[in-house]
Structure 1
Amino acid sequence: NRGKAAVKMLPFIRRRVGLTGTPASNGLLDLFGQYLVVDGGIRLGSSFDAYQKGYFIQTDKAGYRFKPGFGAPEAIANIIGDITVSMSAEDYLDMPDLITNDIMLELPPNLQEAYDEIERQMMVELQSGHTIEVFNQASLINRTLQYANGAIYKEPGQPEWEQIHDVKLDALEDIMEESAGEPLLVAFEFQHDAHKILKRFPDAVWFSSKLSEEKATKAIEDFRTGRLRMLIGHPGSMGHGLDRLQQAGHIIVWYGMNWSLDLYDQTIARLWRQGQERPVMVHRLVMDNTTDLVVRESLARKASDETSIKTAIEQYWSRKQ
């Protein structure tokens, strides 16, 4: 992979600078590879296993989940602080307000009952005591997330899907009507989300790698000029590199939230960035009593890790000065 390839090149690179907006987007374990490339393992070591055992506590039997040990963020910050500078846009730029609005939704009783059965089967399998690969764990949880969004793939890995409900779609339409002509940037998680959205809003444009450069450029320009009311995309496609939207839009809708804090933050940064003159509104469609709540909590926990390491580094520098 890229990390191993980069490590092999280290002896030939005299000066190395790592740049990132989200150093620990999925937790403090993310820091290891970045600092290995920067200092060759001087501070956090050259063994990921040793780093993991030294600063983290295993929280599951299978050995896939870890949390920082007591005092780990501060200890890590003290070790890497001498070669780390933390800078926040809010501290140096006149940034507008960022407002997060969780729109709590509910499944109809009969669908909630069906959902609960899917979730019960999932938990039975997850708690069976058998080792389940991370991929399969994610597949089980994704099935409940799909249901919460309104459709479900008939078979894992196959494109055919089954329509379940339009609760989130109706909520999106309400936001569309309330936005009074303002363009919406909509982030979805599953491809059937996109198909459902496009069926309800045929004038919307799906921004993806399949979109030609000419059509992508036109979509961005139409969004900026107000001719395009809705631009939709997966965070992996539009979270990085989709620029110049802040000059027109200030409303983001999360049809389904993504597990990655990096993609979450970078998607919001398409509108909440330098040049944005209005408060940015982030609507999150959250289906109550479903695993939507798990994703929301996971993002909050990762954001907490991110904040803790940045705060610890800033405190380190303040002590040094």
Structure 2
Amino acid sequence: MEAIKNTDRIVLRRHEATIRAFSPFRFKDVLKGISGARWNRDARCWEWPFTGTVARELAERIGTFLDMKDLEMLIAHAKGLIAAEQVKRAADGDVPPVPSEKTRSWTHQARAYWFAHNLRAAMLSMDMGTGKSKVAVNVAVNGRCSTVLVICPLSVVDVWPSEFEKHAPAGYAAEVCALNDGRTVAEKAKMLYRALAVGKSRNRPVIVIVNYESAWRPPLGEAILANRWDLVILDESHRIKAPGGKASMYCARLGLKADRRLCLTGTPMPHSPLDIYGQYRFLDPGIFGTSFARFKARYAVFGGFHNKQVKGYQNQAEMNKRFYSIAFRVEKADVLDLPEFNHNVRYCELSAATWKVYAEMEHAFYTEVKDRQISASNALVKLLRLQQVTSGHIEEIPNLGFEKTRLLQDVLEDLPMEEPCVVFCRFDRDLDRVRDVAHGLGREYYELSGRARGLGAWQASKKGDVLGVQIRSGGVGVDLTRARYAIYYSLGFSLGDYEQSLARVHRPGQTRPVFYYHLVAKNTVDQKVYLALRERKDAVQAVLEGCGAALTFEAGDANNNNDPD
């Protein structure tokens, strides 16, 4: 333990990746209140991860009790934050171009680049279609990063190599290793080691791309942590919003192994303000600390059963200030002038036989909900079954009806044969029917789902092909601008998945007006879900309100429920 010579002074000492404060007892509450504080029993001092935000807060809170050299050290460490804030405030004409890139960035992309360039950790909270992938590529290239790790949803693993190819400047040669599906985790670990070895032997940057579900699993997880990364990018970073989830906890450890960290997402708080904790624990634990319990106590208001239910939020001004200290926000409506789009609803009526099954199932479901004889999770399963009936199939009767299938055929027949088309579906059996309709009309069929990866072939085609897309597979990081026509055969309950799927077609790269067609069975759950999503409401609660009752759902229940198919 270091002695404190002046009882009115606090002494700072750097220790590896942390900063330590040795102080008289009277400063205990002040130091403890600085985010990320941890009492080190062995060294008898307070300790924080030494990040720019911690340096700035220490300077602001205890600067008058520090020696000048310690204060200067903090100011120097926090200068990136000051520069990043200046970038935010700069006039458009004062934002310099990105030094090295293939195609010139839009002004908001250049501003985002310089913002992230000045920071060791940054949240790029940019709406879908605003080009955040290009910004991330620019950061990797111009930051001369030798080792880059991209963690993303599975459906986007094969997209990221093309993002580097599309945006990296001429002459940029990197060893790109996409750890895509179809391989065991052990095989992916071997591919990782091989890519790192090849990159080192050829003196090339190494870019490794892996999905969230694989990244933390041994032996791949250990292989990733065994290396020091110049840059780690979390694409669709809201995937680690659950602090106790394995992916989120793993990323917290991974953040300590990365010199620079980027989070990319258009929806950093998909369900509540508490969703940002896991993401910021990866980016900079000095902002919101390393205790989720303390974080909740600070920003949530509790009540209800045993006072454990979140009833509201508090200290939101403080949270926003901390959030935006390293966050750059871009909204699509503010920066883009995209072609017009319009929504069309096409209806069908269920046949008598199909309606009989649907009505009986719906009546039983609503009765159970009203009488509170059903749990929230079971309610979701039964809503899924109602959706399956409107699509014409249930497990017991695979070919229950073909009303919506015929409606799809009618819509496709009205579209020019040379025009490619995207059809979004929820269930595998829906995709089977889309395939059959496409083939029946003489169109080639490709699929992007949990069972097929036909996106590349569809994008390379020059014909009026149909791409069947499972809505959760085609929601993030997928470019579908080849098509101007998109059909929704069935919808999920997630507003986020729905809005992301819309933005896959109507985004930069789209040069023509976009037409969305929604296939809806009249007087069924289809209508309620569609209207709720179009009005940006919670689809499940909207359906339940229709029967005069409500159930309590945990955040994410509607998204995490496994489809019966």
CA deviations on 1:262-305 (whole Å, 9 max, x unpaired) are 332332233212121111111111223222234335532269xx
Greater strand fraction, Structure 1 or Structure 2: 2
C-alpha distance in structure 2 between counterparts of 1:241 and 1:165, whole Å: 34
C-alpha displacement of 1:162? 1.9
CA deviations on 1:65-106 (whole Å, 9 max, x unpaired) are x89748898785455344332202343233112322233433
Alignment of 1:256-271 (within 5 A): 256-271=490-505
What's the Cα RMSD here? 3.7
C-alpha displacement of 1:113? 4.2
Task: Work out whether residues 299 and 314 of structure 2, in 8 Å CA contact, stay in contact via their aligned partners in 1.
Answer: no
The partner residue of 1:236 within 447, 450, 472 is: 472
Task: Work out whether residues 183 and 251 of structure 1, in 8 Å CA contact, stay in contact via their aligned partners in 2.
Answer: yes
The partner residue of 1:114 within 347, 357, 381 is: 357
Alignment of 1:277-316 (within 5 A): 277-299=511-533, 300-301=536-537
C-alpha displacement of 1:5? 0.8
C-alpha distance in structure 2 between counterparts of 1:12 and 1:188, whole Å: 39
C-alpha displacement of 1:16? 3.5
The structure whose RCO (Cα within 8 Å, separation 6+) is larger is 1
CA deviations on 1:235-281 (whole Å, 9 max, x unpaired) are 233333443x42x3111111001223333233223321212111111
- Please identify the structure whose Cα radius of gyration is greater: 2
Q: So what's the TM-score if we normalise by structure 2?
A: 0.44
Closer, same or farther: CA 121–208 of 1 in aligned 2, 3 Å: same
Q: Report what 2:22 is aligned to.
A: none
Task: Work out whether residues 219 and 228 of structure 1, in 8 Å CA contact, stay in contact via their aligned partners in 2.
Answer: no
C-alpha distance in structure 2 between counterparts of 1:284 and 1:125, whole Å: 30
C-alpha distance in structure 2 between counterparts of 1:279 and 1:50, whole Å: 45
For structure 2, list consecutive stretches of 5 or more residues without a partner in the other structure.
1-245, 540-565
- Given residue 174 of structure 1, which amino acid in structure 2 is its aligned partner? D
Aligned to 2:467, the other structure's residue is in SS state strand
Size of the alignment, in residue pairs?
Answer: 286
Alignment of 1:156-175 (within 5 A): 161-175=397-411
Does 186-195 or 280-289 show the bigger shift?
280-289
- Given residue 447 of structure 2, which amino acid in structure 1 is its aligned partner? W
**Residue 3 in structure 1 maps to residue 3 in structure 2:** no
Q: Report what 2:339 is aligned to.
A: 96
The partner residue of 2:280 within 35, 39, 43 is: 35
Task: Work out whether residues 97 and 280 of structure 1, in 8 Å CA contact, stay in contact via their aligned partners in 2.
Answer: yes
For structure 1, list consecutive stretches of 5 or more residues without a partner in the other structure.
155-160, 304-321
Q: Report what 1:83 is aligned to.
A: 326
Alignment of 1:39-58 (within 5 A): 39-40=284-285, 42-43=287-288, 46-47=291-292, 51=296, 55=300
Q: Report what 1:207 is aligned to.
A: 448
**Residue 217 in structure 1 maps to residue 456 in structure 2:** yes
Does 165-174 or 70-79 show the bigger shift?
70-79
Does 250-259 or 201-210 show the bigger shift?
201-210
Greater helix fraction, Structure 1 or Structure 2: 1
C-alpha displacement of 1:165? 1.9
The partner residue of 2:487 within 250, 253, 267 is: 253
C-alpha distance in structure 1 between counterparts of 2:343 and 2:276, whole Å: 27
- Given residue 187 of structure 1, which amino acid in structure 2 is its aligned partner? F
C-alpha distance in structure 1 between counterparts of 2:448 and 2:268, whole Å: 27
Q: Report what 2:379 is aligned to.
A: 137
* Moved beyond 6 Å, runs of 4+: 56-59, 70-75
Q: Report what 2:221 is aligned to.
A: none
Task: Work out whether residues 495 and 537 of structure 2, in 8 Å CA contact, stay in contact via their aligned partners in 1.
Answer: no
The partner residue of 1:148 within 360, 379, 390 is: 390
